[in-house]
Amino acid sequence: MMIKIQEVSKIYHGKQGTVEAVKDVSLTINKGEIFGIIGFSGAGKSTLIRLLNGLESVTTGHIFVNDKDITTLKKKELLQERRKIAMIFQHFNLLWSRTVEENIAFSLEIAGVAKDVRQKKVAELIEIVGLTGREKSYPSQLSGGQKQRVGIARALANDPEVLLCDEATSALDPKTTKDILNLLVEINKRLGLTIVLITHEMHVVRQICHRVAVMEQGRVVETGEVLEVFKNPQQTITKQFVGEERSEQDLHDVFEHLSTSLRPGVAVRIQYLGDTTAEGILSEVIRKLDVSISILQAHVNVTQKGVLGSMIILIEEESAKAEEVIDFLRKAEIIVEVLENV
């Protein structure tokens, strides 16, 4: 275990009244994993991540990092522990008057590290984050992705055990986002770093996280392995993030259209994991049971723990025959959800 959050709440008191930003949150984050915290704006995720590194103090509850309760530490001890917990930000927070290598070296200078040791460390970090050749550049000469790479290198300078990422890709374009996420995965594997990532984008969680917690109105409403959450989201908000939530009217409109364009049948959503080939199983069921099946929609999600595929198919048969197909699919370890008869 790396981080244990135990019944943590954070209450702010202001002129407008009392705001409970984080409500009775309990989580365990394992050493060496990439853990995602997702929620819409105002869900409490940014407050929670600031509690993790002691930038904010808890109102109630405890936060343990490597079995040390950081909520009870005195200021000097907390500053020492904070060196083990680095952070990168949405807007990079670079020093604009300093070059790439000077930005990365800044925290080492403050810590009193000797110049030759500093230079060696900076060179290593520049290589790790892929900025070789840009050492003398200033932030104004860099792209958004390059600035975030500097932010990551600077965060790694003091050899932290935990890296907190606060919406670290929100200001980046899709390709650059993917590159930065791949870099975080590489750092996680290469350095064994525990990464806690907060975001409002599920594709970010899907691409790199091992586990995820979903926050809503200050509470954690769902947690689990990313693959499991994608496969079987429980809460309405999680379904919205995963993209499985559809209004009854939307479904009705789709099926009304299907009823005029295709033969009657049973519409089902099927989900399959890993190496299972849905197309192969569908071909087999069509051949063995002599049925007609149309693929209406197909989607594949690639996660850190494997592939989760999803299809909506129309079994163009009477109910009894459709049940045979459904039984066949379930025996093949395909998850089947009947949507509607059309």
Instruction: Give the DSSP per-residue string, 60-123.
Output: EEEEEETTEEGGG--HHHHHHHHTTEEEEETT----TTS-HHHHHHHHHHHTT--HHHHHHHHH
Q: What are 104-128's pLDDT values in tens digits?
A: 999 898 888 899 999 999 999 999 9
> Do residues 214 and 222 make contact, with C-beta atoms less than 8 angstroms apart?
yes
The domain locations on the chain are: 3-242, 248-341
For residue 263, what pLDDT is reported? 62
The residue among 133, 107, 134 whose CA lies nearest residue 121 is 107
Tokens of 226: 């990313």
Q: Return the H-helix or E-strand segment holding 207.
A: helix 202-208
In 3D, which of 53, 57, 46, 55 has the Cα closest to residue 11? Answer: 57
Residues 290 and 325: their CA atoms lie apart, in Å, by 10
Separation CA 211–CA 50 (nearest Å): 20
**Which CATH architecture does the domain made up of 248-341 adopt?**
2-Layer Sandwich (3.30)
In this prediction, the residues of the chain whose per-residue pLDDT falls under 70 are 1, 244-263, 274-278, 340-342
Q: pLDDT value at position 184? A: 94
| Contact present, 161 and 82 (Cβ < 8 Å) | no
CATH class, 3-242 region = alpha beta
Angle at 247 between CA 342 and CA 236, to 5 degrees: 125
| Predicted confidence (pLDDT) per residue in 261-318, tens digit | 656 778 888 887 766 666 778 888 888 888 888 887 777 777 777 777 778 888 887 8
